[in-house]
Amino acid sequence: MKTVEILSKINALIINTVDTERQRYFLHRFLLKDTPLLFVGPTGTGKSAITNSYLLELPRDKYIINNINFSAQTSANQTQDIIFSKLERRGKGVFGPAAGKKLCVFVDDLNMPAKEKYGAQPPIEILRQWIDHRFWFDRKDTSMLNLMDIVMLSAMGPPGGGRNNVTPRFLRHFNVIAIEMFDEETMKNIFSPIIDWHFKAFETTQRKYSRIILTATMEVYQNAIVNFLPTPSKSHYLFNLRDFARVVQGILLLKPSLVPDGVEGSQKITRLWIHEVYRVFYDRLVDENDRDQFFRMVKVRATF
């Protein structure tokens, strides 16, 4: 596979780990029982990617997939229209997916819709009405529209940063599964195959840098999380797996033909790594003390 193909697909790659298999297990079991399921966890833990990957593998003769990405501007009418776009009329006032199939609705960023004056989230309320009563009202003549053979999956991050608390009257219908941040071993299992594959094309003496870079990036990432905490004036000091992946993606830009054997090649690799961690982490720092601390942090780990 060419480097450009890896770069274009790295964000879509799913490396199977214990955590991903756990998530797939819950998806399988709850979908079989038509039970609503909600994954809650920090950004970059694979909630959406793994769920979408699983849904793509479902047999098309049994399931119809409907993805909805909520935002602060999503309305109840939009939510209703998106779901109805996958339904057919089965009889007077009865709607469902094509005969013999089930509609699987996956709602991502469930808690993103903005709250109205009295604290309700209209897109959430329209979904709650369906789960509570299995029908909606026609917006034209208020006739009852019964909905059949629909199962709901969803994912969201913890409240904060534009995400809101979701009413317990809606959450009570879901089996809630918490997804934790990946530990160091899991992250190495995810990124080691990618970076090792890339360095196979390098000179033998340079291949060792695949693991050295991975370890150094891990240390910088973990130190950034611990030392650069978000505050009201630094609310953007949020680091997750996607930042780690951006550093790795930058390293994959390095072509083996441009890295000679020996000291010169080692220096090129080191300079590129420093450049990437600076662009991903340092550029986000707004305080001079934080920048000095980051400089010292990288200086210690840049002695490859």
pLDDT given at position 16: 83
> Over the stretch 13-39, which tens digit does the pLDDT of each residue have?
777 888 889 999 999 999 999 999 999
Contact 106, 55 (CB under 8 A): yes
> Over the stretch 188-239, which tens digit does the pLDDT of each residue have?
888 998 899 999 988 888 889 999 999 999 999 999 999 999 888 898 898 9
Q: Tens-digit pLDDT profile for the chain (304 aa)?
A: 454 455 545 666 777 888 889 999 999 999 999 999 999 998 888 899 999 999 999 999 999 999 999 999 999 999 999 999 999 999 999 999 998 999 999 999 999 999 999 999 999 999 999 999 999 999 999 999 999 999 999 999 998 877 899 999 999 999 999 998 888 888 888 899 889 999 998 888 888 999 999 999 999 999 999 999 988 889 889 898 889 999 999 999 999 988 888 888 889 999 999 999 999 999 999 999 999 999 999 999 887 6
**Both tokens assigned to 233:** 């004036």
All structural domains of the chain, each given as residue ranges with its CATH number in brackets, are: 18-178 (3.40.50.300), 182-301 (1.20.920.30)
Query: How far is it, in rounded angstroms, from Cα 30 to Cα 150?
Result: 13
pLDDT given at position 302: 85
pLDDT given at position 19: 87
